A and B are shown apart, each in its own frame.
Chain A
Amino acid sequence: MSDILPFLKSLLSVSGLSAYETPAARLIEEKWTPLVDEIHRSRLGSLQALKKGSGKSPRPSILFATHMDAIGLIVKKIEGEFLYITNVGGVDVRVLIGTPVLVHATGLGKVDELPGVVAMPSAKLLPGDIKDEIWMRYLVVDTGLSAAGVSKRVRVGDLISFNTEPVEMSGEIVSGHSLDNRASVTALTICLEELKSKSHLWDVWAVATVQEETVFGGSTTSAFELQPSVAVAMDVTFGKGPGASDWETFPIGKGPTLSLGPNIHPFLYQRFKELADRLEIPYLVEPIPGNSGTDAVALQWAAEGIPTMLVEIPMRYMHTPVELAALKDIQRAGRLLAEFAASLEADFIEKIVWD
Chain B
Amino acid sequence: MLTIGAAQFKLLERLCNAVAVSGDESEVRKIVLEEVKPHADEVKVDALGNVLVTKRGTSRNRPRVLLDAHMDEVGFMIVAEDGDGVYQFHTIGGVNERNLAGKQVQVGREHKPGVIGVRPIHLLESDGYTRPVSMDSLRIDLGPNGKAQIGERGTFATKFRRAGPSILSKSIDDRIGVATLIELIKHAPPNIDLCAAFAVQEEIGLRGAKVAAHFFDPDLGIAIDATPANDLPAHDGRENIFYNTKLGLGPAIYVADGSTVHDPRLVKFLQETAESAGIRYQFRQPGGGGTDSGAIQRSRAGIPTVSVSVPHRYTHSPISISRVDDWKDTLNLLYTALERTTKSLITERK
Contacts and interface: CB of A to CB of B under 8 A. Distances in A.
Contact of A79 (B144, B165, B167, B233): B233
Given A133-B131, A134-B98, A145-B165, A316 B313 contact: no
Interface in B115-140: 115-123, 129-133, 137-139
A319 interface: yes
Given A144-B165, A167-B113, A241-B141, A122 B242 contact: yes
Given A252-B144, A317-B118, A317-B120, A171 B163 contact: no
A309 B248 CA distance: 57
Nearest to B113: A167
Contact of B117 (A115, A134, A167, A317): A317
Nearest to A320: B102
B159 to A, nearest CB: 8
Contacts of A114: 163
A80 B117 contact: no
B117 A241 contact: yes
Contacts of A275: none
B146 A171 contact: yes
B interface: dominant SS: loop
Contacts of B123: 238, 244, 246, 248-249
A164 B104 contact: yes
A308 to B, nearest CB: 20
B145 interface: yes
B17 to A, nearest CB: 13
Given A82-B232, A121-B235, A238-B120, A97 B146 contact: no
A192 B214 CA distance: 70
Nearest to A95: B102
B282 interface: no
A279 to B, nearest CB: 24
Given A90-B121, A135-B130, A175-B113, A98 B314 contact: yes
A interface: dominant SS: loop
Interface residues of B, number: 61
A169 B117 contact: no
Given A135-B130, A170-B143, A253-B144, A322 B104 contact: yes
A202 B99 CA distance: 51
Quick one: which of B86, B118, B146, B313 has the most chain A CB within 10 A? B118
A243 interface: yes
Given A94-B130, A244-B123, A321-B104, 6 more contacts: A117-B314, A125-B233, A134-B131, A169-B114, A173-B143, A318-B121
Interface of A: 79-80, 82, 90, 92-100, 114-117, 119-122, 124-127, 130, 132-135, 138, 140, 142-146, 149, 164, 167-171, 173, 175, 238, 241-244, 246, 248-249, 252-253, 293, 316-322, 324, 326
Question: What 10 pairs between A and B have smallest CB-CB spacing?
Answer: A95-B102, A144-B166, A317-B117, A171-B145, A169-B143, A243-B119, A173-B143, A322-B115, A242-B139, A117-B319
Interface of B: 82, 85-86, 96, 98-99, 101-104, 113-123, 129-133, 137-139, 141-147, 156-158, 161, 163-168, 230, 232-236, 240, 242, 248, 313-314, 317-319, 321
13 contacts: A90-B121, A98-B319, A100-B319, A119-B317, A122-B230, A122-B232, A122-B242, A134-B131, A143-B163, A173-B145, A242-B137, A320-B118, A322-B103
